[in-house]
Amino acid sequence: MNPKKVYIQAAEQISIQQPLSEEWFSAPIFYHDGFVPAVNPAFREYIAANEARRMGNLIKRALVTSLKVLRKTEIDHPDAIITGTCIGSLNCTEKFLQALTENGEQTLSPTYFMQSTHNTVGSTLGIYTKTHGYNTTYSHGEISFDLTILDAWMQMQLGKISTALVGGHEEMIESYFKLLQKTGYVGLDGMAPCSEVAMSMMLNTQPHTEDLCEIAGIRICNHTSADSLNDCIDSLLHEADLCREQLCAVMTGKNGNPANDKQYQEFANSVFPQTSLLHYKHIFGENYTVSALATYAAAHCLKEGYIPPFLYDTDRKEQCASPQNILLINQTKGQEFSLILLKKI
């Protein structure tokens, strides 16, 4: 089987930075709060007001980032819509649960339940754009988005699809933030804020002039030993005809939480001691699916041929004047790692 090239044709985000824009690249906003909701764009430019009223933030944001990508790429019906979300329609789930606890089992309304399943986002994208193609949703903690790329990439290699609208979407509410804070996941002093994300991108096996970059490969790997992770990295680089020394930069999910950062630190020090180290969560915050913004941010760096200084690790001096490739590393509790390799076109 001849490997097929996979390109990121366009990508759009709504996050704690300026929405639907690349303003973060030159003028990032820094926050010092525990929880920062996403900055909403003017939805009415994309969704009629009467429709928008019936939708929650998660759906509206996912829809708008997707619609903008579809417009940009002039692809009305992608072959696949693949969505990653860990906690899905959190607001609806919490409201239905709250009503159940407060009012008991007799006087409930179906509205929140109907929209509470994780696939509400992906299926709404299908319904709204009348796209009958492949449609699925991954809900696997911090690597929910990474699995959407894996799925699209596999089906592209198999020749089943040539275009895929993939996305990572997560919403947060104050009460759930407090719950997560108790678990030690977010909200610690000195940590990136707990945030929200909607990021949609078009993957395409055909090259286009406006493409952001190429996805040279992806691996999902349970960290059973240092060897298993090393093997994964080497096979990924080998597939892309690269050796470790040729890697320009590694982007990690360091967020100021020692339990989380330890995983990346050990990895970066042992595997890539000499490579430029980049981080993105101090810009985009922390949430289960924020890795979607790592792919997005790194893709823009490759497109621009420039890595803004605020992305570099402050402890390492290596800088990369003309990035040719970036390896993204994401992990969940030090158990499971995902590796995505992006290449400049």
Partner 1 sequence: MEPIYITGAGIASAIGIGKEETRESLLKGKTGIRKIQYLQTQHHEIPAGEVPFSNAEMAEMLGISEEPRLTRTALLGRLALREALQEAQLTSEMLHHVHFISATTVGGMDRRELFHAQEENCDKAHAIIAAHHCANCTEMIAEQFGHFASLSTVSTACSSATNAIITGANMLRCGMADIVVVGGAECLTKFHLNGFNTLMILDQQPCKPFDKNRAGLNLGEGAAYLVMESAESVRKRNVKPLCTISGYGNRCDAFHQTASSPDGEGAYEAMKEALEMAGLTPQDIQYINAHGTGTPNNDESESHAIKRVFTEKLPPISSTKSFTGHTTSASGSIEAVICIQALEYQFLPLNLNWQTTMDEGIIPVTDTRPSTEIKHILSNAFGFGGNDSSLIISKYDV
- Distances 29 to 26, 200, 293 between C-alpha atoms, Å: 10, 21, 15
For the bound state, the minimum distance from the C-beta of residue 345 to partner 1, rounded and expressed in Å, comes to 23
Site string (65-84) toward partner 1, x via CB under 8 A? ----------------x---
- The smaller minimum CB distance to partner 1, of residues 70 and 147, is found at 147
Kindly write down the DSSP assignment for every residue of 26-45, as one continuous string: TS-----SSB-------GGG
Is residue 259 a contact residue for partner 1 (CB under 8 A)? no
| Binding-site member from 33, 45, 76, 100 for partner 1 (CB under 8 A) | 100
For the bound state, the minimum distance from the C-beta of residue 229 to partner 1, rounded and expressed in Å, comes to 12
- Gap between the Cα atoms of 335 and 250, Å rounded: 19
What would the two tokens of residue 265 be?
Answer: 């630190």
| Binding-site member from 46, 96, 264, 267 for partner 1 (CB under 8 A) | 96
Measured over the CA atoms of residue 145, residue 151, residue 154 and residue 156, the dihedral's sign is: negative
Is residue 97 a contact residue for partner 1 (CB under 8 A)? yes
- The smaller minimum CB distance to partner 1, of residues 154 and 226, is found at 154
Q: Quote the radius of gyration of the chain (alpha carbons, Å).
A: 19
| Binding-site member from 135, 204, 276, 330 for partner 1 (CB under 8 A) | 135
- Gap between the Cα atoms of 51 and 211, Å rounded: 32
- Distances 341 to 29, 146, 210, 234, 326 between C-alpha atoms, Å: 27, 11, 19, 12, 6
Contact 313, 324 (CB under 8 A): no
- Gap between the Cα atoms of 67 and 251, Å rounded: 28
Is residue 101 a contact residue for partner 1 (CB under 8 A)? yes
- The smaller minimum CB distance to partner 1, of residues 201 and 339, is found at 339
For the bound state, the minimum distance from the C-beta of residue 317 to partner 1, rounded and expressed in Å, comes to 35
> Footprint of partner 1 on this chain (CB under 8 A)?
1, 81, 86-88, 96-98, 100-101, 104-106, 108-110, 113-120, 122-124, 126-127, 129-141, 143-144, 147, 150-151, 154-155, 157-158, 160, 175-176, 178-180, 182-185, 220-222, 224, 228, 288, 332, 335-336
